[in-house]
């Protein structure tokens, strides 16, 4: 692909690289400790690692779609949405991804799939209802940039050792229960304790680093959307709409919802938990500031 005039942010690329390198270093340390303390055979360890990685990698799209309750649609179901995705995919030089719809009032969108050929772009009905065409284009272009940057692969790779660490923490815990971790000699702390601590530390540090990478990917996707649509101001207004209070007010009818009995079932705590997930996105003000900067570079109007 030809490099576009506004398509790079050198500082961001550098920071992204640095974080990834730190993550790599962390994992190597983790693996070394694992070998020297646990004396795990190299072969079973590698098998476990690759087993998990492959499973996660190849089922990422199905898992994400199922978790979100997304339904893959045909052109006839939503022609305008379909055309929009098709046109933007062409501009991003991507094959046409599958399109899915999540039936919920909350305006949101996501992309998944291990590579551009298996990509799915999902939007919610709330997004289509509340945003106008330009804003929807901005959001879809953002998701397509995730596909183009192969962020699913990056994040799978990044989160994979964190997962392994969590797994080993659990093993070590059971080991302690069944008295499996026999002391090497009577003076040192038991192996399972060392293992537990190392796994914990690995998990915590990698969690922070993964969040950091994820935030960088969001900036990159915002930039990509600005380049693809040539109009960052639409994505800016879309972001504002999505995160404003207004987005919380339902469009549904009270009587309809009470009939479905869904209204009172979801406890507030669950809602708070899901909003925690968004912490891997940068705060709105920073994203808007970054987009405004891009808009100025491109000579676009900024509100």
d(CA 96, CA 114): 14
d(CA 92, CA 69): 27
Residue 254 in the binding site for another protein (CB under 8 A): yes
Cα dihedral 48/50/51/54 (nearest 10): 160
Closest approach of another protein to the CB of residue 241, in Å: 10
Residue 178 in the binding site for another protein (CB under 8 A): no
Residue 128 in the binding site for another protein (CB under 8 A): no
**And the tokens for 145?**
């940039």
Instruction: Pick the closer one to another protein by CB: 5 or 254.
Output: 254
Residue 79 in the binding site for another protein (CB under 8 A): no
- Which residue(s) pair with 73 in the sheet? 99
Piece in contact with another protein (CB under 8 A), picked from 93-101, 186-194, 205-213, 264-272: 264-272
* Options 66, 87, 170, 271; binder of another protein; rule CB under 8 A: 271
Residue 69 in the binding site for another protein (CB under 8 A): no
265, exposed or middle or buried, with CB in 10 Å at 0-12, 13-18, 19+? exposed
Instruction: Pick the closer one to another protein by CB: 11 or 267.
Output: 267
Closest approach of another protein to the CB of residue 104, in Å: 11
Instruction: Pick the closer one to another protein by CB: 211 or 241.
Output: 241
CA angle 251, 257, 261 (to 5 degrees): 150
d(CA 67, CA 61): 10
Residue 66 in the binding site for another protein (CB under 8 A): no
Cα dihedral 79/82/86/88 (nearest 10): 110
Residue 272 in the binding site for another protein (CB under 8 A): no
Site for another protein in 22-41 (CB under 8 A): none
Question: For 99, phi and psi rounded to 5 degrees?
Answer: -120, 135
Please list, residue by residue across 41-69, b when 16 or more beta carbons sit within 10 angstroms of its beta carbon and e when fewer do.
Answer: eeeebeeebeeebeebbeebbeebbeebe
Residue 273 in the binding site for another protein (CB under 8 A): no
d(CA 60, CA 48): 18
Site for another protein in 193-252 (CB under 8 A): 245-246, 248-252
**And the tokens for 105?**
């009032």
Instruction: Pick the closer one to another protein by CB: 39 or 269.
Output: 269
Residue 259 in the binding site for another protein (CB under 8 A): yes
Instruction: Pick the closer one to another protein by CB: 230 or 259.
Output: 259
Residues carrying an active site annotation: 143
Q: Which residues bind another protein (CB under 8 A)?
A: 245-246, 248-259, 263-264, 268, 271
């Amino acid at each position: 692909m030809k490099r576009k005039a506004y398509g790079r942010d050198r500082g961001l690329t550098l920071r992204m690289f640095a974080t990834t390198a730190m993550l790599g270093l962390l994992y190597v340390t983790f693996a070394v400790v694992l070998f020297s303390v646990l004396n795990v055979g190299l072969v079973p360890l590698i098998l476990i690692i690759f087993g998990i990685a492959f499973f996660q990698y190849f089922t990422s799209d199905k898992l994400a779609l199922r978790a979100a309750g997304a339904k893959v649609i045909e052109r006839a179901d939503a022609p305008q949405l379909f055309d929009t995705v098709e046109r933007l995919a062409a501009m991003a030089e991507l094959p046409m991804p599958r399109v899915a719809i999540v039936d919920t009032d909350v305006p949101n969108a996501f992309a998944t799939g291990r590579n551009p050929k298996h990509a799915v772009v999902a939007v919610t009905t709330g997004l289509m209802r509340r945003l106008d065409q330009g804003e929807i284009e901005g959001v879809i272009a953002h998701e397509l940039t995730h596909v183009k940057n192969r962020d699913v692969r990056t994040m799978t790779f990044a989160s994979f050792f964190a997962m392994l660490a969590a797994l080993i923490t659990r093993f070590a815990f059971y080991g302690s229960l069944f008295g499996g971790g026999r002391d090497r000699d009577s003076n040192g702390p038991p192996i399972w304790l060392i293992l537990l601590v190392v796994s914990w530390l690995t998990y915590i540090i990698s969690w922070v680093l993964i969040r950091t990478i994820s935030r960088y990917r969001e900036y990159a996707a915002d930039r990509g959307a600005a380049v693809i649509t040539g109009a960052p101001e639409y994505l800016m207004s879309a972001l504002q709409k999505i995160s404003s209070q207004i987005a919380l007010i339902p469009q549904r009818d009270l009587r309809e919802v009470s009939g479905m009995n869904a209204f009172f079932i979801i406890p507030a705590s669950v809602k708070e938990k899901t909003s925690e997930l968004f912490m891997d996105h940068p705060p709105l003000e920073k994203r808007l500031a970054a987009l405004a900067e891009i808009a100025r570079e491109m000579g676009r109007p900024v509100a």
